[in-house]
């Protein structure tokens, strides 16, 4: 079941799927508008507003803090790409910068009393699929038609099924890693609050510092780093 919505009361503690805000029928299929979708739209609107503000009226020589922040973000993303993928992959800087900002803000939404969209497997799975597509694209681009298919039978033809399994396992493990950590943080935090009852007021700050901040930042960075490693590592010689 995708995502995890925690509900705790004095009598029970349960883990359910994402909250369905509205449902509608289209082409004979029932579509659910969930809390996850709405929060992601909020995240995208916030990122859009921030980027428009800090990049407004930019100059060759920065004279405002807004432009300094904007240039720092670009430099940070470019350094990540240069370090992990190499300078020849700088074309991915825009995507990598957008990815880490998107994941980071999604992971931090619990600080504002909202559900982390990354605790929904459909979200992390969709982003992992994008990584998988970019990985296959880079392999085909660098190796051509022949090199692409040859990479699946290296070093010996009998390795074909294992190489295919390995390719599929990469996005699956990538999606489950961040999903598992986000859900685990919610579950552990919910269980502790539930167990302590009225005394839970003594621990929320410490719990939030780790699960809502430290773990959120680390998981966004790891996911982005793995994305870069998978894409650049798929290069055919």
- The DSSP string of 69-101 is HHHHHHHHHHHHHHHHT-GGGGGGHHHHHHHHH
From CA 66, how far away is CA 151, in angstroms rounded?
A: 46
State residue 3's pLDDT score. 39
Helices (H) and strands (E) in the chain, counts: 7, 4
Q: Model-level pTM greater than 0.75?
A: yes
Residue 4 in any domain: the answer is no
Identify the pLDDT of residue 1: 39
Q: In terms of C-beta distances under 8 Å and separation of at least 24 residues, what long-range contacts does 167-171 make, across chains too? A: 167/132, 167/135, 167/136, 170/131, 170/132, 170/135, 170/230, 171/125, 171/128, 171/129, 171/131, 171/132
Does residue 40 fall inside a structural domain? Answer: no
In a domain, 18, yes or no: no
Q: What pLDDT shows up at residue 203?
A: 59
User: Residues 234, 135: contact at Cβ < 8 Å?
Assistant: yes
pLDDT given for residue 206 in this prediction? 63
- Within-domain flag for 147: yes
Average pLDDT per consecutive 10 residues, the chain (237 residues; last block may be shorter) = 42 63 77 86 94 88 87 93 92 93 90 84 92 91 83 80 88 90 77 67 62 84 93 79
pLDDT of residue 220: 92
pLDDT of 15:
59
Q: Which SS3 state, helix, strand or coil, does residue 223 take?
A: helix
- Assess if residue 13 is contained within a domain: no
Number of domains in the chain: 1
| 221 within 8 A of 79, measured Cβ to Cβ | no
**Does 170 fall in a domain?**
yes
Q: Which domain holds residue 50?
A: 46-233
CB 36 within 8 A of CB 117: yes
Does the residue 35 lie in any domain?
no
């Amino acid at each position: 079941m995708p995502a995890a919505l925690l509900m705790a009361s004095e009598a029970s503690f349960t883990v359910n799927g994402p909250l369905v805000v509205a449902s509608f029928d289209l082409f004979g299929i029932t579509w659910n508008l969930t809390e996850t979708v709405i929060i992601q739209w909020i995240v995208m609107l916030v990122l859009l507003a921030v980027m428009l503000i800090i990049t407004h009226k930019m100059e060759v020589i920065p004279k405002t803090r807004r432009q300094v922040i904007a240039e720092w973000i670009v430099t940070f993303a470019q350094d990540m790409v240069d370090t992990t993928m190499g300078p020849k992959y700088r074309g991915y800087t825009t995507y990598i910068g957008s990815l880490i900002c998107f994941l980071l803000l999604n992971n931090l939404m619990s600080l504002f009393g909202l559900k982390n969209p990354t605790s929904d497997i459909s979200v992390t799975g969709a982003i992992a699929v994008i990584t998988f597509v970019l990985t296959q694209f880079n392999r085909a681009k660098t190796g051509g038609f022949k090199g692409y298919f040859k990479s699946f039978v290296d070093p010996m033809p009998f390795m074909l099924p294992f190489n295919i399994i390995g390719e599929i396992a990469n996005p699956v493990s990538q999606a489950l890693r961040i999903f598992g950590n986000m859900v685990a943080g919610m579950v552990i935090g919910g269980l502790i609050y539930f167990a302590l009852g009225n005394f839970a007021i003594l621990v929320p700050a410490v719990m939030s510092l780790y699960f809502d901040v430290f773990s959120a930042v680390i998981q966004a960075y790891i996911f982005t780093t793995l994305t870069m490693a998978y894409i650049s590592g798929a290069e055919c010689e």
